[in-house]
């Protein structure tokens, strides 16, 4: 009985490749996003809370990447919607001119991540 359920939940090989690309792209682009955020932040004293926040952010990105690589379709779709919203807000902020100095650098990361997640989640070309 359990074998039948496992066989019915298998992801086709082409679709699994999309999830792998989405997972590795998600990891790489989020690390780039975090590095850009740290570069563009004004100078400040690095405290323990800063280091813990960076560590927890990386841990969350790695954890989400593992689930994306396993082909969790609902998670990928939710993340795609979140990144689509973030991209739209970044475009709005860039158009109005009242945003963080790194928005022009963040926007490509957000758009590419949105596309990779949407491609895996909704089988885009």
Which residues does 25 contact at the CB level (< 8 Å), separation at least 6? 112, 113, 116
pLDDT in tens, the chain (125 residues): 444 444 545 667 777 899 999 999 999 999 998 898 888 877 777 788 888 988 999 999 999 999 999 999 999 999 999 999 999 999 999 999 887 888 888 899 999 999 999 999 998 88
Tokens (6 digits) for 122: 């909704």
> How far is C-alpha 83 from the geometric centre of its chain's CA atoms?
7
């Amino acid at each position: 009985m359990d074998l039948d359920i496992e066989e019915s939940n298998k992801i086709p090989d082409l679709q699994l490749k999309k999830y792998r690309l989405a997972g590795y792209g998600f990891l790489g682009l989020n690390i780039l996003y975090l590095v850009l955020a740290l570069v563009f932040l004004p100078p400040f004293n690095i405290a323990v809370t800063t280091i813990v926040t960076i560590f927890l952010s990386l841990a969350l990105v790695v954890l989400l990447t593992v689930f994306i690589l396993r082909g969790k379709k609902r998670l990928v779709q939710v993340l795609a919607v979140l990144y689509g919203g973030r991209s739209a807000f970044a475009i709005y902020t860039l158009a109005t001119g009242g945003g963080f100095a790194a928005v022009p650098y963040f926007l490509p990361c957000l758009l590419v991540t949105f596309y990779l997640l949407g491609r895996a989640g909704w089988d885009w070309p």
